[in-house]
Amino acid sequence: MKGNKTRWMIVDGREPFFVITSLAFAFIVLIGLVIFLTTAIVEREELRMQSEAERSFNSVFLALQDSTTKALKTMQDEGVSGIGVYSSMGKKVLSLGNVPMTIPLTNFSSKTNKEGSNTGTATYNEDTGMIEYIRFSRLTILLDTGELTLTEGGLLPTPIDFPDVLYLHFDGKSYHHRVMVINFIGLVSTVILIGLFLLVLSIYRNNRRYRETLAKQESLVNLGQAARTLTHEIKNPLSAITIQLALLKKTIPKEHICDLLLMEQEVMRLTQLTNKVSDFLRNPLGTPVVVDLNELFSSLIKRFDKQIRFTSEGHQEILIDLDRARSVFENLLKNAIESCSGRDPEVEVEITTDKRGLVHVFVLDRGDGIKSGDEKKIFDPFFTTKIHGSGIGLSISRQFVKARGGNIRLYQREGGGTVSEVVLPRSIHTTKLLEGELR
């Protein structure tokens, strides 16, 4: 019970959804955290830059109280190339060093109205490596103008208040370098997390595929042991029933022989089934010989009452056990003919070769096709959609083909129907090539 429960959990279709969703959520949270930290550190660097700009501005103005020479020396030490005070219209009032005569305050004013009058704005120039830092003055600067005559009629009292804007032009290479490094680390971290997510997802999918394969192998081993025991136990009673049926045919009246025919047919069906199971369990390679596919299909087509169109690219020969080749292709033709009822399935056989020397045998029909959801189960032992089918034919066919280093697959045909494709090598060299691809 515990083993069955484990296998049920492995093949549970809901597991990938929950696991992948959980992984995606965890990595999205991590990526969001990286973006948040990157943004926070960049904002910290911006505040640090503004703090350094304010400190440099204060240092220069304090030095300016002593002398212009000392202020210029302080500017050089602080990496400041220009400092100025501007009116609310953007016109220069006071300056020291290299500053423009006017500064545009339209964008700056709209931004400071939203963020507060004490917030400055910094613009980095990549060509010069300099930063222009602008903010409104927190205090009104008083300029002693003396008696300034503005009109003929009167004098304005001194001092005069100016609503000033502070301007600072300083070296920003260090700040820009730090910001670029932070953004680069954030970007690399995000890419690494995405790559790690894809890697973990790939590992999970491969692990799930391996677990499913292991579960199938375990079930096949158990099935093989049970089938080997059953076929051995069934053959003995079948032999006895066959003998008794032969005796009954000789003793009962002829008018009752038709009743025995049904029993005889069912016994033959059971015998054929046990023989197929035995073929499935024993060595599937057999005795490989050179088989002419054109001759093989010419003889197989004659066994069916439906018209089968056959085309081949020249003379095709493969190295395979003749009985196993006959079993594989007869089973595919039988499935194609029985793919629909009440109409002609229009069965076709095409044989081609590729540049690597591999032979491709296509058995095509216009039947009902493969139902959705059955694609992964069509090669499972005893899975069948037919009322009187055993479901062992395709499993045996695949085992025979893979034992020869080939491959077999069934898929939907364009326009309706099914395509059964068998790929087999023509020589030992192409056998090794195809086996390497299958691994």
165-209 per-position pLDDT tens digit: 888 888 888 888 999 999 999 999 999 999 999 999 899 888 888
What's the rounded Cα separation, in Å, for the pair 23 and 16? 10
The CATH code of the domain at 284-438 is 3.30.565.10
Q: How high is the pLDDT of residue 360?
A: 92
In the chain, where does the domain assigned CATH 3.30.450.30 lie? 14-143+158-185
DSSP state of 92: E
Contact yes or no for 210/36 (Cβ under 8 A): no
- Residues of the chain with confidence (pLDDT) below 50: 1-11, 114-117, 140-163, 387, 429-435, 437-439
299 burial (CB, 10 Å; 0-12 / 13-18 / 19+) is: exposed
Amino acid in the structure at residue 16: P
Contact yes or no for 95/77 (Cβ under 8 A): no
Fold of 14-143+158-185: Beta-Lactamase (3.30.450)
What's the rounded Cα separation, in Å, for the pair 59 and 80? 11
In the chain, where does the domain assigned CATH 3.30.565.10 lie? 284-438
Secondary structure string (H, E, C) spanning 6-32: HHHHHHCCHHHHHHHHHHHHHHHHHHH
Distances (CA, A) of 316 to 153, 240, 312, 327, 424: 118, 45, 8, 18, 11
User: pLDDT digits over 58-84, tens only?
Assistant: 888 888 888 888 888 988 888 898 888
